[in-house]
Amino acid sequence: MILFLLKAVLILSLGLFFVPKNRKYFFTFSLHLALVVISSFLIFNTFNQVASLKFPFLSLLNNTIYIEIDKLSAFFMLVINFTCLTGIIYAKAYLEPYYKSKSSLEFALHYFSFLWLHIAMLFVVMFRDALAFLIVWEIMALTAFLLVIFENEKKETIKIGIQYLIQMHIAVVFIMIGFIWAYSQTGADFSFDGLSVYFESHNPLPLFLIFFIGFGIKAGFIPLHSWLPHAHPAAPTHVSAVMSGVIIKMGIYGILRVLTYIHHDLFNIGLFILISALVNGLIGVSLAIVQHDIKKLLAYHSIENIGIIGIGIGLGVIGLAINIPALTVLGFAGGIMHILNHSLFKSLLFYTAGAVYTQTHTRNIEELGGLIKKMPKTALFFLIGALAICGLPPFNGFISEFLIYSGMFKALLSGNLQTDILLFFAISGLAIIGGLAIFCFTKVFSIVFLGTPRSDKVTHAKEASTSMILAYALIAITILLIGLLPVLFINPLIDIVSIFTKDTQAIQQAIPTLNSISISSGLFIVLIALFWLVRYWQQKRQNIRKDATWACAYTGANPAIHQYTATSYADNFVQISNQITNVKKEFKNFEEAEIFPKERTFQTHSSDKIEDYLIKTPTTFILNFLQKIGVFQTGKIQHYLLYAFAFIMMIFILTLLNLI
Amino acid sequence: MMSLFFILITAPFFVGIILKVKAKFAARKLPSILQPFYDVARLFKKGAIYSTTTSFIFKIAPLVYFVSVLMAALFIPIGSLKGFLSFNADFVYFAYLLAFGKFMMIIAAMDTGSSFEGMGANREALYSMLIEPAFFILIASLALFTDNNSFYGLFLNLHISTNLSYILGLAAIYVLMYIAMIENSRSPIDDAKTHLELTMVHEVMVLDNSGFDLALIHIATWIKFSIYGTLISNFIIQNEWPLALQIGSFFFVQMAFAGVVGLLESFRARNKLEKNPQWIIMLSAIAIVLFLTTLIITQKIILY
Tell me the per-residue pLDDT of A459-479, one tens digit each, with 9 for 90 and over: 888 898 899 999 999 999 999
Strands A603-606 and A583-586: antiparallel
Q: Quick check: helix, strand or coil at residue A59?
A: strand
Q: What is the pLDDT of residue B137?
A: 93
Residue pair A351/A446 in contact by the 8 Å Cβ criterion: no
Put simply, whether A184 touches B (Cβ < 8 Å) is: no
Q: Is B94 exposed, middle or buried (0-12, 13-18, 19+ CB in 10 A)?
A: buried
Out of A58-72, A184-198, A487-501, A548-562, least confident range: A548-562
Put simply, whether B157 touches A (Cβ < 8 Å) is: no
Put simply, whether B57 touches A (Cβ < 8 Å) is: yes
Q: What is the pLDDT of residue A507?
A: 84
> Could you give the CA distance from residue B283 to residue B280 in angstroms, rounded to a whole number?
5
- Over residues B151-157, the mean pLDDT reads 86
What residue in A sits closest to B53 (Cα-Cα)?
A451
pTM for the model stands at 0.94
Query: In terms of pLDDT, which residue wins out, A605 or A404?
Result: A404
Q: What is the pLDDT of residue A413?
A: 84
Task: Decide if pLDDT at A349 tops 70.
Answer: yes
Q: Quick check: helix, strand or coil at residue A479?
A: helix
B123 contacts in A (CB within 8 Å)?
A: 572
Query: In terms of pLDDT, which residue wins out, A414 or A76?
Result: A76
Backbone angles phi, psi at B192, to 5 degrees: -65, -20
Put simply, whether A417 touches B (Cβ < 8 Å) is: yes
Task: Decide if pLDDT at B197 tops 70.
Answer: no
Contact yes or no for B197 and A552 at CB 8 A: yes
CA terminus-to-terminus distance, chain B: 46
Instruction: Indicate the residue of A390, A517, A546 with minimum beta-carbon distance to B50.
Output: A546
Q: Sorting pLDDT into bands at 50, 70 and 90, what band is B95? A: very high
Distances (CA, A) of A378 to A17, A88, A280, A463: 34, 18, 29, 7
- Over residues A295-308, the mean pLDDT reads 94
Give tens-digit pLDDT for A264-277: 889 999 999 999 99
Query: In terms of pLDDT, which residue wins out, B191 or A455?
Result: A455
The DSSP symbol for A366 reads: G
Give tens-digit pLDDT for A406-424: 999 999 888 788 889 999 9
Q: What is the pLDDT of residue A335?
A: 95
A520 contacts in B (CB within 8 Å)?
A: 71, 74, 85, 93
Max intra-chain CA distance, chain B = 68
Put simply, whether A423 touches B (Cβ < 8 Å) is: yes
CA A255 from chain center: how many Å?
15
Instruction: Indicate the residue of A531, A539, A548 with minimum beta-carbon distance to B67.
Output: A531
What residue in A sits closest to B98 (Cα-Cα)?
A392
Put simply, whether B82 touches A (Cβ < 8 Å) is: no
Q: Sorting pLDDT into bands at 50, 70 and 90, what band is A536? A: very high
Q: What is the pLDDT of residue A532?
A: 95
Q: What is the pLDDT of residue A208?
A: 93
Residue pair A288/A440 in contact by the 8 Å Cβ criterion: yes
Put simply, whether B112 touches A (Cβ < 8 Å) is: yes
Put simply, whether B55 touches A (Cβ < 8 Å) is: yes
Query: In terms of pLDDT, which residue wins out, A41 or A606?
Result: A41
Half-sphere exposure of B192 (CA within 13 A, CB side): 19
Minimum distance, in Å, between the CA of residue B256 and any CA atom of chain A: 31
CA terminus-to-terminus distance, chain A: 65
Q: What is the pLDDT of residue A50?
A: 81
Instruction: Indicate the residue of A544, A550, A572 with minimum beta-carbon distance to B114.
Output: A550
Give tens-digit pLDDT for B236-275: 888 788 888 989 999 999 999 999 999 988 888 888 888 8
Q: Which residues contact B26 (CB under 8 A, 6 or more apart)?
A: B266
- Over residues B81-93, the mean pLDDT reads 89
Contact yes or no for B88 and A513 at CB 8 A: yes
CA B139 from chain center: how many Å?
15
Question: Which of A14, A20, A13 lies closest to A104, judged by CA?
Answer: A20
Per domain, the residue ranges of chain A are: 1-264, 266-535, 566-587+600-656
Task: Decide if pLDDT at A559 tops 70.
Answer: no
Put simply, whether A526 touches B (Cβ < 8 Å) is: no
Total beta-carbon pairs less than 8 A apart between chain A and chain B: 240
Q: What is the pLDDT of residue A299?
A: 94
Encoded amino acid at A363, one letter: R
A390 contacts in B (CB within 8 Å)?
A: 99, 103
Three-state helix/strand/coil letters over A574-624: HHHHHHHHCEEEECCCCCCCCCCCCCCCCEEEECCHHHHHHHHHHHHHHHH
Contact yes or no for A446 and B107 at CB 8 A: yes
Q: Which residues contact A363 (CB under 8 A, 6 or more apart)?
A: A233, A293, A294, A295, A296, A353, A357
Put simply, whether B47 touches A (Cβ < 8 Å) is: yes
